[in-house]
Amino acid sequence: MRIAIASTKGGPGKTTTAMHLAQALSQHGTTELWDSDPQGSATEWASTVEDDGLELDFVVRPVNVRTLERAAKGLGVTTEHLVIDTPPGHGSVIDAAIRASDVVIVPTEASAMDMARMWQTIDSTGDVPRVILITKSLPHTRSHRSAVQAIVDEGAPMFETVIRRREAVKSAYGSPLRADRLHGYAEVLAELTGALGIALDGKRDPDAQS
């Protein structure tokens, strides 16, 4: 399974989403996270873990556009699962990551500015399936309810699971992750595989709706 985490805006939690989903996927097969962001947040996260004498359950690799273009042609991917973390504001990188993926997750906060940039990202995904993930949110707030209603009104696919604004999520940076403490991302993965009808062994679920 190949998942791109994409947003043209910085700050909605792309790297956090990518790292947590890679951890969730690593429980079901070999997994790599490709860090295509020149800022290298995921790579730095992995390096911090290693410097502390610890390790992640998946490999983090810095990659460039060429690597993503090869992956879109079926070349260079050697693991069962791949998560691609993308940068904001680098259209060529985002486009290449989308082409290399089976599905795109578009994280967004519930603010009006974040929502506007989220729609820009949605428009760039082309024919690749995409799903909106609301992050850093408080479901009881007016902004959250307004964001959900806007997505529903547009008929865009959206995860039922919301990644809530939690200090535990914010403070996870630079630490190894645990499969039993993924703050909603395990549920995100379960929703995604269920909607796509994909079993985590890579076989399509015959009972899934087309």
Q: What is the pLDDT of residues 63-82, one digit of tens each?
A: 999 999 999 999 999 999 99
Looking at residue 81, its pLDDT comes to 96
Q: Which long-range contacts (CB under 8 A, 24 or more apart) does 60-63 make?
A: 60/22, 60/32, 60/33, 60/35, 61/32, 61/33, 61/34, 61/35, 62/34, 62/35, 62/36, 63/34, 63/35, 63/36
C-alpha atoms less than 13 angstroms from C-alpha of 140 in its C-beta half-sphere:
0
- Cβ atoms of 81 and 29 within 8 Å: the answer is yes
Place of tokens 């519930």: 110
Looking at residue 146, its pLDDT comes to 96
Q: Are strands 130-134 and 59-62 parallel, antiparallel or unpaired?
A: unpaired
Looking at residue 114, its pLDDT comes to 92
| Band (209; pLDDT cuts 50, 70, 90) | very low
Higher-scoring residue by pLDDT: 120, 42: 42
Report which secondary-structure segment, H or E, holds 42: helix 41-51
Percent of the chain with pLDDT over 90: 85
| Band (60; pLDDT cuts 50, 70, 90) | very high
Looking at residue 192, its pLDDT comes to 96
Overall pTM surpassing 0.85 (yes/no): yes
Q: Structural domains in the chain?
A: 2-196 (3.40.50.300)
| Band (203; pLDDT cuts 50, 70, 90) | very low
Q: Is the pLDDT at 119 greater than 90, yes or no?
A: yes
